[in-house]
Amino acid sequence: MPVIQMREALNQAMCEEMERDPDVFLMGEEVAEYDGAYKVSQGMLAKFGPMRVVDTPISECGFAGLGVGAAMVGMRPIIEFMTFSFSLVAFDQVVNNAPKVRHMSGGQLSVPIVFRGISGPGQQLGATHSWTVDALYTHVPGLKVVIPSNPYDAKGLLKTAIRDNDPVIFLENESMYGNRGEVPEEEYLIEFGKADIKREGTDCTVVGWGHTVLTAMAAAEELEKAHGIKVEVIDLRTLRPMDINSILSSVKKTGYLVTVEEGYPQCGVGAEIAAQVQQHALDDLDNSVVRVAALDVPMPYSKPLLQHVVPSVQRVAEAIKRAIYFQG
């Protein structure tokens, strides 16, 4: 099976869907002639031409709204935000127009649009460029939120997102674009709302999504090697819909739960998971749910400070030990 980078997997997903469906087009800043700020759309202008791979001015509210309008008459825009930090300039289009015109028109309109781009703290970009937007968008009825952790999922989930008839927020991660993984040549899709058990274990359940799946996996391996602790790691893959049942089944087995996110703790995705698990499986829990999140501060520039704010492998490992009352 070919081993390719995450950016190539995303590129393949877009190219295959554009070949399949003439209503699909890609629009955003530097997606065409520059080949993408992170080279995700490399070669696509040459393949599809300037009506289907479209450079925009720096005008997020404008082109996000243009995408929503085009989707209202059946087109399938892929709108790239260079980073989702910039989606906040277009917040009204993303949280009001995209997910609500179906509702406010009594179901007459569909908005089959994908907003995609990077989310997360990035490489020392300072506070305004470092948004982790997963909780912001997961909050909104009418949106779907997808966040892959590896090239295989990235391709299968993005193809599903493009074919989905609802607005999809598709969150990527700058530091993961070069990550490699096996991606089959034959076509496949990944259904939304199906978490993936990345690693089976009996001692503690750890839930991550996107980049934090890698952090959780590293922590799990370290704890197994050092202490023989068997951690089960669940990759949520989509935050809305959220596969809460997979978490409940795992907690029934392990009795302990740790959530790991790069967003903020207050009203974060981990808080939602904790609330749902205590609501549906309080008797299965042998301790309170432990959340690992970014520290509750604006993202600092300085590297040691940044590394202190973002959940590290060590912080996750300590959280797991704390969750399971490990004394060692």
Partner 1 sequence: MTTVAEPAIKAEPTDAELMQWYRQMVLIRQFELRCAQSYQQQKIGGFCHLYSGQEAVAVGSIGAVRKDDYIITAYRDHGHAIARGMDIHPLFAELYGKRSGCSHGKGGSMHFFDTEKNFFGGHAIVGAHIPLATGLGWAIKYRKQDRVVLCYFGDGAINQGSFHEALNLAGLFKLPCIFLVENNGYGMGTHIHRASAVTELKLRTADAYGIPGKDVDGMDCLAMYKMVRSAADYCRQGNGSIFLEVKTYRYRGHSMSDPQKYRTHEEVAEYQKHDPIGRLEKILQEKRLLDAAKISAIADEIHREVEAAHEKADADPTPELEDVWTDIYAQPFGPYR
Please report, as residue ranges, which positions from 241 to 270 form the binding site for partner 1 (by CB under 8 A).
Answer: 241
Q: Is 129 assigned a catalytic role? A: yes
* Region binding partner 1 by CB under 8 A among candidate stretches 59-67, 120-128, 298-306, 317-325: 59-67
CB of 89 to partner 1, least distance (A): 8
- In contact, 167 and 189? CB cutoff 8 Å: no
Is 282 a residue that touches partner 1 (CB under 8 A)? no
Q: Pick the binder of partner 1 from 33, 141, 325, 328 (CB under 8 A).
A: 141
The catalytic position among 8, 17, 29, 60 is: 60
Binding-residue total with partner 1 (CB under 8 A): 45
Q: Is 139 assigned a catalytic role? A: no
Query: Which H or E run contains 307?
Result: helix 303-309
CB of 120 to partner 1, least distance (A): 25
The catalytic position among 16, 30, 129, 280 is: 129
Query: Which H or E run contains 217?
Result: helix 211-227
Is 122 a residue that touches partner 1 (CB under 8 A)? no
Residue placing its CB nearer to partner 1 in the complex, 192 or 256: 192
DSSP letters spanning 12-46:
HHHHHHHHH-TTEEEEETTSSTT--TTSTTTTHHH
- Round to whole Å and give the CA distance between 312 and 236: 19
Q: Pick the binder of partner 1 from 33, 57, 304, 328 (CB under 8 A).
A: 57
Task: Quote the Cα angle for 74-79-84, to 5°.
Answer: 140
Q: What is the three-class DSSP state of 126?
A: coil
Is 68 a residue that touches partner 1 (CB under 8 A)? yes
The residues annotated with a catalytic role in the active site are: 60, 129
Binding stretches for partner 1 (CB under 8 A): 25, 51, 56-57, 59, 61-75, 77, 92-93, 96-97, 101-110, 112, 141-142, 144, 164-166, 192-193, 241
